[in-house]
Structure 1
């Protein structure tokens, strides 16, 4: 509701929270406080500080206590006024827009948050005291309008962000804890979706409050909004989330479509949570799943390892939804799937990639693609062979994450596509033997447990390769122990030979 409060004195006549709605004294006090908090920064002066002091004093007066306690019905307009005050306080403590990243502004926001948090603690304390009175309707109505802004304030300043300080985080945490206690909710999730099936939670109100700051033109005006939205979204799971799909999907897509990697990652995490917690039928309706797929697929062209790490697991969880209606009747070749399309692009990017962080990210997710496609991985066997051999040759630092994941991929690949492996025996065996020799001669800072894990995985792959080739590996390695002086390499070969003898080949 629009009102002018930029003059020298706040308007009292005709104000929606005075006159017949509230007693004149309270109406005038609330109007003065709201107008003081609403002044623009350039004209603020000491008005806002005075408004906070006035509100603190008002909370201590007997007139304010009468808003809840000892009345059969609340004063007309009181709940709405308290909601307006809570909203104004939340806006007062909000951080400046993103371009203004000066540290002094951030410390000023943290100081404001402490002041506002203490006021919210007082306000919620009044509501909690009113719960013990006979007037249940009054405090419930007031809390209904206040809970949304207070929740947004608490989440904004509880999270570790540039505009928070340890003190402001502690105060905001106390506010959230008291809010849960006053609303009789056991958790934030219960507050958002309701503690039982018949009870409506506060999520709808909170999303309505966030909506003006979550459109294309305004979502960067308040840098906290995206974090509040994302954190709130993560708290709501099945079976409640699908009720809000129309309200949470557009902002998630908007955030993920930004040019900044940080925002893209945040948006993708929101989309992933939606994929995991909304039924497939709802995602398939109106081609929502297709929209999600294309939005995620386009991110694969961005060479940012944090973004790729967020996108690939999300796509892997989206594939079952997209391919839910695809059934193979056995009367011809299976059609290419979305997973095929993504894996083809990933392999294209993996082969020439030289940046270690991206190599590790791709390698980390490759086993999941092989598991997803199963025997259909044979379509990508040639490309996978090139990637596997190339990645096994490159030292990946002390943790050797990329090579360990590539060995896991090779193991899965041989298990799923074993009839096609024997023709690649020599190439794969050379790559594995070279890896064993490199690790045995490695004098770098790689920890011994990592070296042992690499040798163990490489040896297991050679054993699998021997089974896939009907014992040919054992024959090819037979003369190496006689001419090799490295005990580590010899031990690996002996283990392959013993495993082949203990489990004769009868098919894989």
Structure 2
């Protein structure tokens, strides 16, 4: 085994008295990596360190090794392979591709060392003079840093390569095995509800990097946090609410759309996996609501979609809190609430919206808001009617997502607010018949299944209108049916007339 690079580097270091040889070597190697030296000498030291760990006997390497010594080495290797900081980018100086390539190469080297170290620790568990009582205290403090290193280089990022990602995947799997767990989720949250996993330790390490002043320095921090959070679900997540809610709000409040969406998805996971009582405590739900509501003024379709989906799951939490407050105040009437506020703003934006991407997002989520309000949708009928009429007129491409969403919205509105529909019958009937004719006459790229879905949706709306108007639609359609010669249009009218 050739260790000339490591030996030469260690000879320049002062020996550490009163420490075992293995611990002296690891501490001195960690200090060498932490120093600002050239990349090539450091790379040689890392490679030699991996060979040394693989060749060393368990008793010599781990027999008298202290957890702080191993922790210092792991931290030094993690810093050696850390992505370049983004302070230069913030100042308008892009990070060169060569810096990212060097980071990926160093990550693959460090990952190889970590894998050999974990293999040695696993072998020491069965060693007659070491075993779990010795290995456990050494391994436990480094599980969190090793996990963060693995997740940092796990995904397809500018600072990763195929080799570094493979090493990270292998390291993460080895970590889960070393902790005696069957999955990453089990590794983080624990096997049982009352068992403490490693999530608290991971968040403790991330906490200092997830502050307002530091979270953008390391470009991997937000990805590590957002990748880790979904693995911790109900009922475990509620124990860590104070750790995960502030960084999620911080990331969602950024000026970059990518970060906003990332933060909103983290908030959505928290809403789905934390009990409503915990969310309402200390007005947390209101804070999240106001953060999401402000995003509704955005003009980016992916962000609006993420925000609306998140709000739909947050609104029931807010409504329950509002209901409890009304009961305490002995109020019977239901005042306007967050759902009304959101729908009012959405309808205002929909009326004037001309971008097809945003029209599709709004139309897809609108039926859920109508269902959410139920009979109280009558508060918004005037504006909702204008939106429905406007969206039925405009073809929005081959998939017709906006029109299909609006037809579903109209069906839900008729079902919930049917007493208010007869007075709107003339204008709605005219709009639906015009849309049926436009779909029939369309010679564009709209697929036949989409045309069929549009015609079916319009027919169902006509049937519902007929039911709530005591058969007036059948009467009005008689003249249309007798004068129309187009089979497809006649088929829609026939279904309405034959419905009982």
TM-score (norm. length: structure 1):
0.90
**What do residues 433-468 of structure 1 show as CA deviations (whole Å, max 9, x unaligned)?**
111001001111111111101111111111111111
Q: How does 1:342-353 map to 2 (within 5 A)?
A: 342-353=342-353
Task: Report if the CA contact (8 A) 1:258-1:264 is conserved.
Answer: yes
> Does the C-alpha gap of structure 1 residues 10 and 301 become closer, same or farther in structure 2, counting only changes over 3 Å?
farther
Tell me the alpha carbon deviations over residues 447-497 of structure 1, each in whole angstroms, 9 at most, x when there is no partner: 111110111111111111111111111111101122222111111111111
- After superposition, the Cα gap between the structure-2 partners of 1:479 and 1:187, relative to the gap in structure 1 and judged at 3 Å, is same
Aligned to 2:82: 94
Q: Is the 8 A contact 1:155 1:228 kept in 2?
A: yes
Structure 2 equivalent of residue 82 of structure 1: 70
Deviation, 1:395, is: 0.7
Partner of 2:306 in structure 1? 310
Distance 1:177 1:429 in 2: 61
**1:297 alignment counterpart:** 293
Give the superposition deviation at 1:209.
1.2
Q: What residue is the counterpart of 2:319 in the other structure?
A: 323
Aligned to 2:414: 414
**Shift of residue 91 of structure 1?**
2.2
C-alpha contact 1:10 1:32 (8 A) present in aligned 2: no
The question of 1:385 aligning with 2:373 is answered no
Aligned to 1:104: 98
Maintained 8 Å contact 2:421/2:469:
yes
Q: Tell me the residue number matched to 2:334.
A: 334
Q: Quick check: 1:192–1:202 contact (8 Å CA) kept in 2? A: yes
Q: Corresponding residue for 1:439?
A: 439
Q: Does the 8 Å CA contact 2:154/2:165 hold for their aligned counterparts?
A: yes
Moved more, 296-305 or 167-176: 167-176
Q: How many residues align?
A: 480
Give 5+ residue unaligned stretches, structure 1.
1-6, 504-508
Question: 2:486, 2:228 → 1: CA distance?
Answer: 57
Q: Deviations over 1:409-448 (max 9, x none)?
A: 0000000000000000011111111110010011111111
Q: CA separation in 1, counterparts of 2:455 and 2:262?
A: 38
The 10-residue stretch of structure 1 (389-398 or 110-119) with the greater mean CA deviation from structure 2: 110-119
Q: Would the alpha carbon gap of residues 28 and 132 (structure 1) be closer, same or farther in structure 2, given more than 3 Å must change?
A: closer
State the alpha-carbon separation in 1 of the partners of residues 11 and 304 from structure 2.
55
Q: Determine whether 1:185 maps to 2:155.
A: no
Q: Is the 8 A contact 1:283 1:289 kept in 2?
A: yes
1:4 is matched with: none
Q: Does 1:399 align with 2:399?
A: yes
Structure 2 residue matching 1:367: 3-state secondary structure = helix
User: What residue ranges of structure 2 are gaps of 5+ in the alignment?
Assistant: 1-8
Does the CA contact (< 8 Å) of 1:26 and 1:63 recur in 2? no
- The 1:170/1:470 distance shift into structure 2, 3 A limit, reads same
DSSP 3-state at the match of 2:352? coil
| Matched residue, 2:4 | none
Counterparts of 1:402 and 1:131, CA distance in 2: 61
Cα RMSD for the two superposed structures:
2.0
Cα deviation 1:158-212 (Å, max 9, x = unaligned): 2122222222222211111111111110111110011124532111111111112
Q: Residues 386, 211 of structure 1: CA spacing in aligned structure 2 closer, same or farther, 3 A cutoff?
A: same
- The alpha-carbon distance between structure 1 residues 35 and 379, as it changes in their structure 2 partners (threshold 3 A), is same
8 Å CA contact 1:422, 1:468 repeated in 2:
yes
The answer to whether 1:116 aligns with 2:102 is no
1:60 aligns with 2:47: no
The 5-angstrom pairing of residues 444-483 of structure 1 reads 444-483=444-483
Q: Which residue of 2 aligns with 1:157?
A: 153
SS at match of 1:35: helix
**CA displacement at 1:61 relative to structure 2:** 4.2
Relative to its length, the structure with more helix (as a share) is 2
Asked if the contact 1:38–1:88 (Cα under 8 Å) also holds between the matched residues in 2, the reply is yes
Separation (CA, whole Å) in 1 of partners of 2:189 and 2:488: 59
SS of equivalent residue, structure 2 residue 395: coil
Q: Give distance in 2, aligned partners of 1:106 and 1:388.
A: 50
Listed as ranges, the matches of 1:260-299 within 5 Å are: 260-299=256-295
- In structure 2, which of residues 124, 130, 135 is the aligned counterpart of residue 130 of structure 1? 124
Following superposition, the deviation at residue 53 of structure 1 comes to: 2.5
